[in-house]
Amino acid sequence: METGTPLKKTILYDRHVSLGAKMAPFGGYLMPISYSGILNEHAAARQAVVIFDTCHMGEFRISGPGALDDLEQALSCEVGSIRTGRCRYGFITNEAGGVIDDQVLYRMGNDEFMMVVNASTKENDFHRLQNNFSSGTRLENLSAKTGKLDLQGPASAGVLKELVELPIDAMKYYQWAKNRYRGQEVLISRTGYTGELGFEIYAANDLTGVFWDDCLAHGVIPAGLGARDTLRLEMGFPLYGHELDETGNPAESGYTRAIAAEKQFTGSAIIRDPANRKRSLVGILLDGRRAARHGDTVIDGQGCEIGRVTSGSFSPSLSCAIALGYVAVRASTIGTEVGIRSERGILSGKITGLPFYTKATGRADLKACR
């Protein structure tokens, strides 16, 4: 974002202010960081239910006879095998094998898709796709007229069942379905960024505010981007601009399931070349509560630099500090003791498996949820 560019506001901005939210810039928007406190909101997501304003994110409709082939070329994940009613995570890649953005692709029909992208990159993503798609593919930016909310937590299904008109019990993880809310159509996917049972709701802008109000009336806790970050970090989920960027090889991130094994796509030869995998994204469990920060140096037992921290925070669920970082492949074995050189001295820790938090409910059986 250029210096001096006015910050945008989502359609829920006035509601956030009225709730006393702490607001701060994020992705070109003025967004809520917390309402009642990050620890409280984090705990509510893990134990009950919260709602996030994610209206800042971008949504594109992609359709036409050339849509499938163009998406296969643009994305790292397999597109043709996505069934209608399902969605899939993958990367928009560049010619050098870097990541322009990470996204979730919804298959709406044989030749129609919806792509959900990050707020800070959505304009660049749109132009990138527009410049590379064939004449047989139509690309439409739905972001300005689409509201998006994330209802997350073990109790999310019970709340959603109270609000929508059609049953949701048959919904599987990474499945979407159209539903009815207050007599209007909404799109609901069983997805999210917390690891917990949850849903993302897409609706017309005016209906989105009503849904937010109804959720709060049902006892749902509003949560900000602070808790959203600690929740995703406990799950080891990447954040664009931290674990993913235009210069890093996504194969080093460990998200190889988002990279097709056979098909050719932009930058695929570079991404798949083992010679280009010189580091690994790892979890680091620290000994105390002091958190590492993005850019801190990771060192081995002899004090030699072996990598860099990409994200770090205190983990409310584990009551200690955790971090994600890229380290040399030779130093990435689980159990390896490392240090992190921070502004306040050396923090000690060890490489650990991901996710950090292993009790999340994301794949729970909806029929058992009340």
pLDDT reading at 3 higher than 70: no
39-74 pLDDT tens trace: 999 999 999 999 999 999 999 999 999 999 999 999
Q: Which two tokens stand for residue 3?
A: 């210096």
Which residues have CB under 8 Å from 228's CB, separation 6+? 52, 193, 194
264-268: average pLDDT: 98
What is the pLDDT, as a whole number, of residue 217?
A: 98
What is the pLDDT, as a whole number, of residue 370?
A: 62
When pLDDT is cut at 50, 70 and 90, the band that residue 2 belongs to is: very low
- Cα–Cα distance measured from residue 359 to residue 370, given in angstroms and rounded to the nearest whole number: 19
Enter the pTM of the model.
0.97
- Give Rg (Cα) of the chain: 20
CA-based end-to-end distance of the chain: 43
**Mean per-residue pLDDT of the chain:** 97
184-240 pLDDT tens trace: 999 999 999 999 999 999 999 999 999 999 999 999 999 999 999 999 999 999 999
When pLDDT is cut at 50, 70 and 90, the band that residue 274 belongs to is: very high
- Cα–Cα distance measured from residue 157 to residue 162, given in angstroms and rounded to the nearest whole number: 9
